[in-house]
Amino acid sequence: MKTSFSVALFLLLSGCAGFQAAREVNSGRQAYLRGNNEAAYAHFQKAAEVDPNYVYGTALRQGVWSYVGRVNYDLGRLPQAREALERALAANREEDLSRLYFGLALAREGDRQRGLKEIEGGLRGVHQWLEYVDQNHGASFGRFWDPAREIRSAIQTDLAMISGRDIDWPKLITAGEWIGKQMELENDRARRDETMDRNRDNDSGGGEEP
């Protein structure tokens, strides 16, 4: 009886923590995308405290530590950013935005050799993910992600620079930051466009006879 009660209590508390973390991450993302990084950090840090395993998103899934790391990066707190991003990657090695920002943090701290490897891995991972959703989910949600291929074109330009080994570091870092922020924006744009498309389909079919 006590065991059943303990399990039920644990599930209840876990659900409450997950709900609170989701609310904090949603508020943090809104602040982050507006450029209000201090407010975003407060929300993301709170989310990490109540549920350190929280993952945001359905298509592009990102752990809460990725957000903590990226906003610390934007605030110039590079050691804290690196620590949080390492934690994100320890939980999910496939989190490409975390890898990209981890590499950017390393490069800005002076470890360019290691940073370059992580930046390249992050860029390739993001490109492969966009190609995957386009090719495998294009009929549903994939066609709403990077439809003009702007992000993928920017990634290909950066990868060409890296492969040539004639690296303009300020340009590469700025480009990597742009790609990271665009992917976050694309998350909302794709969801919005998918919803609008679904609503149009529903409206167009609403007047038909059964």
Question: What's the pLDDT at 6?
Answer: 43
Query: pLDDT tens string for the chain (210 positions)?
Result: 445 434 333 334 445 778 899 999 999 999 999 999 999 999 999 999 999 999 999 889 999 999 999 999 999 999 999 999 999 999 999 999 999 999 999 999 999 999 999 999 999 999 999 999 999 988 888 999 999 999 999 999 999 999 997 899 999 999 999 999 999 999 999 999 988 888 886 776 644 433
Structure token pair of residue 144: 């709403």
Distance CA 58, CA 182 (A): 17
